[in-house]
Structure 1
Amino acid sequence: MSALRLPRRPLISVLAASLLWSGAAPAQVNLPALGDSVSGEFDVSTEKRLGDQIMRQIRLDPDYLEDPLLLEYVQQTWLPLVAASKRQGNIADDTSERFAWETFLIRDKSVNAFALPGGFVGVHLGLIAMTVSRDELASVLAHELSHITQRHVARRIVGDSRNSLLATAGMVLGLIAASKAGSIDLANAAIVGSQAAAAQASLNFSRDMEREADRVGFNVLVEAGFKGAGMASMFERMEQAYHLMDNGSYPYLRSHPLTTERIGDARARLGAGAPEWPQSVAEHVLMAARARVLMDPRAEFWAQLQNMDAGVRQNDVMAQLGARYASALASIKMRDWARAESAMQTAQSLLATLKPDARAQRAMVFLRAELAQAQEKTESGFSALASLSGDKSRAMMVQRAELAVVDGRAERLRESAETLQTHVSLQPQDAQAWGLLAKLWTKLDQPLRAVRALGETRAAVGDLNGAIDRLRSGLRQSRGRDVDQIEAAVIDARLRSLLYERRQLLEELYRRGVPPGTELPNLR
């Protein structure tokens, strides 16, 4: 696959098979009949609906990662690319508002990224960890973005559907011929031959899409202000690493095969002059190191990363900085406070030798707050964050809320709760913020608000049944004495809204009638 590469997880793999590649998929998502143009077969509404369905399942996967700092960094790389693509006219009016244009993180050490229907792009932490510059990361995001803007996802699904029909027809004809001849070998040959023909058709289709995504993605990359050499640099390093260590860690290159032609084209787009090759900057080095720690949650892996406090072989300040940050964060995860403190101090000293980088310094402040939170030394954490007094980012809001939960003092709990409540009123799909709100309201002895926040957490990740169950629980609690009647009314209205949303979703999935056993219950 090229335009669509899902993370290799049982839940998501089953979803991909059932929604996209199985014979049942057209009935479930009401795909139009094959044979017309892509826009007729798989229009924007259908693509958006399919993307939303896939994301409902991905957000429930335990490897869907909510790390505020890392997500913020990827989004700050992604959003200029989306804006540049709009300026270039690649994002049409019908998709500009209706598609999500959202990037998200997958906790996986493999080097991979993938585009989904409806404007979603997933990034494995292993990909971030192996990049040496933001331009390289941006080149991959620009490429995946172009798969979406050029409707490659829709074209691929339609193309694979045709190929599936081709393969099925070939197998049926082969099996009929084999049954007449009484030959098992002939039947097997027919199956293998039909599958090979379909695979070759898909491969040829994908090569054209890859070339187009390279061309369009390069223009978007440069328009967004990134170095065009980032694409050539990423191609060359990935190919070299892939050939040196082909152990299954590079699924991106299996679904996006690099050829001499593609690498040559990337070089040629840089022009005749000497290109300005991407340079590492401290912030990217720290975020790549953070991805390296978070991509594998096993204690034995973190123990290995702790040893990076002794430094790495590269005689380069940036490499040494990233090694110490990785060691410090891994030590926090392992609750080895002394080692974390030592590695952090070394990283801070290395950072001081470099050109001033406010963003990198900010990342170190957040790391200090993480250590304080893990040690339950909340005063130290709030003191560290005070140096970033003008920072109103989501990452700051989340970190302060997490510290407040540990701290437990009413004034800090209330301050964070009010800030988060304002945030979710504007960003109701922020599941992590709702989850923190549930903890804060529980600490503040506001059970109805806590239950509602838990329900909204489930709704935000797409678990409508879980959201409905929690809100029903809240509604039962609201029938007692001395309850917040305003909050009770909010829960009642929200419950009705979610029940209606679930009804609409089931009607979309099963247009010919709800299957037996899945009838909608009474609203109350």
Structure 2
Amino acid sequence: MGSAHLSPGLVQAQNLPTLGDTSREDLSPLAERKLGEQIMSFVRRDPDFMNDAPVSEYLNRLGNKMLESRQDARGETSYNFEFFAVRDPVLNAFAFPGGFIGFHSGLILAAQTESELASVMGHEIGHVSQRHIARMLTSQKNDALIPLAALALAVLAARSSPDAAMAIATGGQGLAIQKQLNFGRDAEREADRVGFQILRESGFDTSGMVSFFGRLQNASRNYNDNLPPYLRSHPLTSERIADIQSRLIDERYRQHADSLEFLLTKARVRVLQDSTIQGLMDASTFFDNQLKSGKLEDQITARYGLAFVAYKRLEFASARKQLEQSRKMLEQSTVYKGMLSYSNMYVDLSIDILIGDKQTAAAVKEAEKGMRDLPLSRGVALQYAEALLADSKEEKAAVFLRDQIVLYRQESQLFHLLAKVYAAQGKQAAQHVALAEAYGIEGNLAAALQQLDIARREKDALYYELSVIDAREREWKEKHKEQLADEKKRR
């Protein structure tokens, strides 16, 4: 597919640390997780990272449901998995070291049923639980030494195009890295086996794996030698499909009804995939056509999608109307009736519309109700803080955010919001300290240290804040020094 465009995040990834000599020793679970976290620190900064709370929460609920179905699903390492989406119409999914699994928006939209999406998720979980990535990093004993930093950069680039690894690497390392990125047939069969078992145990229709992979195989015939990324990094053969089909012979057919969250996630992803003027027009046309369907569930989804499109266009009155119509239809559904109070999709969009329309007091009330109905939703909790800030209740927002930080210390968005609150209160030193904490969590130590320097020079810096600045500066300077030393060794 030729060379790939490198986003700023990919370019910065060249500063990733070398975590070990893969030609001499196995990659430990700790090093594998560290590598995954380093890669994710750059993925999260990439403009194509889909930082949408409802979509992320759905993917993680689905993933954790599957993981909980089998005690051994997390593998020998018992990683805490993280599932996320990226904005890319190309059909692909991928696993990073340490339990990070990503889905292209194109693949989510291509899944015709929730069981199909779950089948891909189960397959990727299989790769992680069987430590296929770690095995690949240590199996090529005769290849030239590949620093893990170089591999991390290649994996990031391969997210959109596996051939991008070849463009990034130079000399003999290019071939070695490409060999590391592509799963072999044995690994694919093993991931199929594990994924199939997880799919079955978690109550999904196991034929979803055959239908989705079968459609992929049929689609590949139109690509000739230029296969889609998913098929290039996950070689799909007739033998694999036949093996999955043979597993279905002894399976009792189990119909799985698509969840409301799956349908609404697809609607959100369709809008988020392309929020340009043309993209919103295309999404609106799709939802208008979907309204003509005789199925009530399609009409519920279409109204929700049109509400999201209207919100993106800043047409808040229209957005409210479409969302209310979707809600009314939902209560008429025999399948999804009563699900409204359990769906953060509706709460999230409703709060966003109210804040956008400057109905801030109503937004606060909606968020308060949302937190009561959905106490585990991190997205709704963050929206509550945003609603308080929009309603000029800065002190209440600050107290809430500080309480949340005690519970969720590694959630950088809490610090970003707290920085906004302090800015509104005119607390400049505190604002920059909060921003420094956010950047530190995200792995951007240079920016974190810069914010500490600004905070120290602010006239309103208190003794406590200066103490925090000194402590964080010592910690981050040491880490940053290690990063620079690693970079110097690679030159």
TM range (shorter): 0.7 to 0.9
Asked whether 1:431 is paired with 2:412, we answer yes
Q: How far apart, in 1, do the equivalents of 2:58 and 2:206 lie?
A: 20
Structure 2: which 5+ runs fail to align? Answer: 147-171
Deviations 1:46-95 (A, max 9, x none): 3233323322322221222221111111111122333445x127522xx3
Residues 32 and 41 of structure 1 are in contact (CA less than 8 Å); yes or no, is this contact kept in structure 2?
A: yes
1:178 corresponding residue in structure 2: none
Q: How far apart, in 1, do the equivalents of 2:417 and 2:411 lie?
A: 10
Asked whether 1:155 is paired with 2:135, we answer yes
2:351 corresponding residue in structure 1: 369
Deviations 1:459-492 (A, max 9, x none): 1221110001101211222xx3x64322222222
1:303 corresponding residue in structure 2: 281
Residues 47 and 117 of structure 1 are in contact (CA less than 8 Å); yes or no, is this contact kept in structure 2?
A: yes
User: 1:100 and 1:161, CA in 2 relative to 1: closer, same or farther beyond 3 A?
Assistant: farther
Letter in structure 1 aligned against 2:244: A
Asked whether 1:211 is paired with 2:189, we answer yes
Letter in structure 2 aligned against 1:310: D
2:312 corresponding residue in structure 1: 333
User: 1:309 and 1:84, CA in 2 relative to 1: closer, same or farther beyond 3 A?
Assistant: closer
- 1:102-113 equivalences under 5 Å are 102-113=82-93
1:30 corresponding residue in structure 2: 20
Residues 432 and 452 of structure 2 are in contact (CA less than 8 Å); yes or no, is this contact kept in structure 1?
A: yes
User: 1:204 and 1:474, CA in 2 relative to 1: closer, same or farther beyond 3 A?
Assistant: closer
Asked whether 1:282 is paired with 2:266, we answer no
Letter in structure 2 aligned against 1:333: K
User: 1:164 and 1:223, CA in 2 relative to 1: closer, same or farther beyond 3 A?
Assistant: farther
Q: How far apart, in 2, do the equivalents of 1:110 and 1:335 lie?
A: 28
2:468 corresponding residue in structure 1: 490
Asked whether 1:395 is paired with 2:379, we answer yes
- The structural deviation recorded for 1:283 is 2.0
2:161 corresponding residue in structure 1: none
2:330 corresponding residue in structure 1: 351
Asked whether 1:119 is paired with 2:102, we answer no
Deviations 1:10-43 (A, max 9, x none): 4465578x69xxxxx9x94432435xxxxx3433
In the comparison of the two structures, how many residue pairs are matched? 458
Provide TM-score, normalisation by structure 1.
0.77
1:448 to 423, 429, 433: 429
Q: How far apart, in 1, do the equivalents of 2:323 and 2:227 lie?
A: 30
User: What is the DSSP-based 3-state SS (H/G/I as helix, E as strand, rest coil) of the residue aligned with 1:458?
Assistant: helix
Asked whether 1:470 is paired with 2:451, we answer yes
2:398 to 417, 420, 431: 417
- Quote the RMSD (CA, aligned, Å): 3.5
Letter in structure 2 aligned against 1:435: H
Q: How far apart, in 2, do the equivalents of 1:141 and 1:425 lie?
A: 32
- 1:5-84 equivalences under 5 Å are 9-11=6-8, 28-33=18-23, 40-84=25-69
Q: How far apart, in 2, do the equivalents of 1:199 and 1:470 lie?
A: 37
Residues 397 and 419 of structure 1 are in contact (CA less than 8 Å); yes or no, is this contact kept in structure 2?
A: no
- The structural deviation recorded for 1:121 is 1.4
- The structural deviation recorded for 1:365 is 2.8
Q: How far apart, in 2, do the equivalents of 1:455 and 1:284 lie?
A: 36
Asked whether 1:380 is paired with 2:358, we answer no
User: What is the DSSP-based 3-state SS (H/G/I as helix, E as strand, rest coil) of the residue aligned with 2:184?
Assistant: helix
2:388 to 383, 399, 404: 404
Structure 1: which 5+ runs fail to align? Answer: 2-6, 20-24, 35-39, 167-193, 517-524
Letter in structure 2 aligned against 1:251: P
Residues 314 and 356 of structure 2 are in contact (CA less than 8 Å); yes or no, is this contact kept in structure 1?
A: yes
- The structural deviation recorded for 1:301 is 0.2
Deviations 1:383-413 (A, max 9, x none): 43344334322111111122223222x3xx3
User: What is the DSSP-based 3-state SS (H/G/I as helix, E as strand, rest coil) of the residue aligned with 1:348?
Assistant: helix
User: 1:239 and 1:319, CA in 2 relative to 1: closer, same or farther beyond 3 A?
Assistant: farther
Q: How far apart, in 1, do the equivalents of 2:428 and 2:180 lie?
A: 54
- The structural deviation recorded for 1:240 is 4.7
2:153 corresponding residue in structure 1: none
Q: How far apart, in 1, do the equivalents of 2:173 and 2:381 lie?
A: 52
Provide TM-score, normalisation by structure 2.
0.82
Residues 163 and 201 of structure 1 are in contact (CA less than 8 Å); yes or no, is this contact kept in structure 2?
A: no
User: 1:217 and 1:285, CA in 2 relative to 1: closer, same or farther beyond 3 A?
Assistant: same
